[in-house]
Amino acid sequence: MSAPHPVSLTGLDLLNNPFLNKGLAFPASERQDFELNGLLPATELTLDQQVAAAHAEVMNMKDTLSRHVALRALQDENETVFYALIGKYLREMMPLVYTPGVGEACLNFSKIWRRPRGLYITAHDKGRMADILFSPDYDAIRMIIVTDGERILGLGDLGANGMGIPIGKLSLYTACSGLNPSYMLPVTLDVGTENEALLNDPGYIGLKQRRLRGQDYDDFIEEFVTTIKARWPDVLLHWEDFAGRNAAPLLQRYRQEILSFNDDIQGTAAIATAAILSGLRKKNEALAQQRIVIVGGGSAGCGIAGQLYQACLAEGMKEEDALDRFYIFDRPGLLLKSMDHLTEGQSFFARSEPLACGSNATLTQAVAEIHPTILIGVSGQAGLFTSDMIITMAQHCPRPLIFPLSNPTSHIEATPEDILRWTHGQAIVSTGSPFPPVLLTDRSVTIDQTNNAYIFPGLGLGALACNATEITDKMLMAAAQAVAKSAAETTQGDNALLPPLSSIKPVALAVARAVALQARGDSTCPDFDDETLEQNIAALSWQPVYQPYSPAP
């Protein structure tokens, strides 16, 4: 048994601290030592009994939102039970804690908000952010997830209601990689909203004003980054759900100034690359043999293209040949270099010549001309992949890789069941949200979720463990390759692309080690040996078990 943990809180203060509270698991000796007698019923429960009771309570709720609310209440009451429950029932709990359950939670966040968690830094706090961030309550912070709530999943501008995203993702850092929850801080930059319904809603918890734009917005972000650098020089800043107009520019502006990454761009790209590499391994094919259509030319689509482009180069392809693999479509159609107002990422992948079928051609007509072998959807447009399009694609590719990645589920480009039915079960499908297995006449097909949770928990843990100063493209590729390697070792069946969720913790550790080793190879961290790396990972890690307490001197 470990040495007792010194605790200075007593009575209700101890019971109201979610990180220290044990509830009915406090033994008689600690009830006496910490003035809990009379505050708790006589029964003493084990952690396992508490987890079983919590699981029954959550699963007895009538719908996804109610289950999400019950989990959040549990997290605010007892983090040990919360994470023990998530860890034991990860497949059931992940869709509630994060996609798709968190989408509904964000839509209703003002209604379900009960207790403070994380920080809301508003436009009115400009010039005084240090007063908030330098509170001694946050001395231990090593990681921050920040959003401004403008592009929450595929749901759009939810303002301060977007706080559900950083809260949920930080939960997955702990559930998947074991990163100590006391080291992490969710932050919402409440700079207003353009959502008319929220602006007119008397119950909305956020700032009721139009969003900061232009120089005012840039200055606000600059003060935030400058302040957290001064407060925590070695912090990892995880950007989340910023609108396309800001996501990539902010990443490029700050990625070498502060240890940071954007999960919507880089995490999505890395896991999509891992799944595609896994699918090609099953087909015994190389990227050089592929024609890749990406529908959705925003930060996620260009990020996926960029990571796959790096994978092409790693295979030995020439830059020109690698670029020729890609066709990116957005609202104007196929991205062309002649178009105005392209982003840097769009411009890089834009084609020089239009398709023969013309600029007004349908996506189905474009697919008929291109003959893609890989089709990726990050458009946020439900039903965009039609039967005609998928049937046309399958006519020219016996086993197409089709990834409708938009989430939540209501925004998916096509359901796995439809895709498999249209291709007579030949497509290899992965989705952005979880879906049940699809029953075909001859077999059941498991649908892998191309879930960023395979990437970002290990990526963050590895970057912190090696004290990296930057997250490089090579580190992201190392993460993708580690997941693909784990899939090769653990998956069975032609359609299985990713490791089972039950093995996500060892996958996260494999990703962390791969990322740290690549950082050492990139010279973006101090030198270290294998033993030091393992010690650093252990120092950052936490397990949801109760420690014995002793009164602090």
Catalytic center residues? 98, 169
Containing 121, the helix (H) or strand (E) segment is strand 119-122
Cα distance from N-terminal residue to C-terminal residue, the chain:
21
Residue 292's φ and ψ, nearest 5 degrees, are: -110, 120
Q: How many helices (H) and strands (E) does the chain have?
A: 24, 16
Distances (CA, A) of 361 to 236, 328, 357, 366: 44, 14, 6, 7
Contact 160, 252 (CB under 8 A): no
Nearest to 332 by CA among 322, 343, 324: 343
Question: In angstroms, rounded to a whole number, what is the distance separating the alpha carbons of residues 237 and 265?
Answer: 14
Question: In angstroms, rounded to a whole number, what is the distance separating the alpha carbons of residues 446 and 438?
Answer: 7
CB 216: neighbour CB atoms within 10 A? 12
SS (H, E, C) 453-492: HHCHHHHHHHHHHCCCCCCCHHHHHHHHHHHHHHHHHHCC
Report the SS3 class of residue 189.
strand
Residue 267's φ and ψ, nearest 5 degrees, are: -70, -45
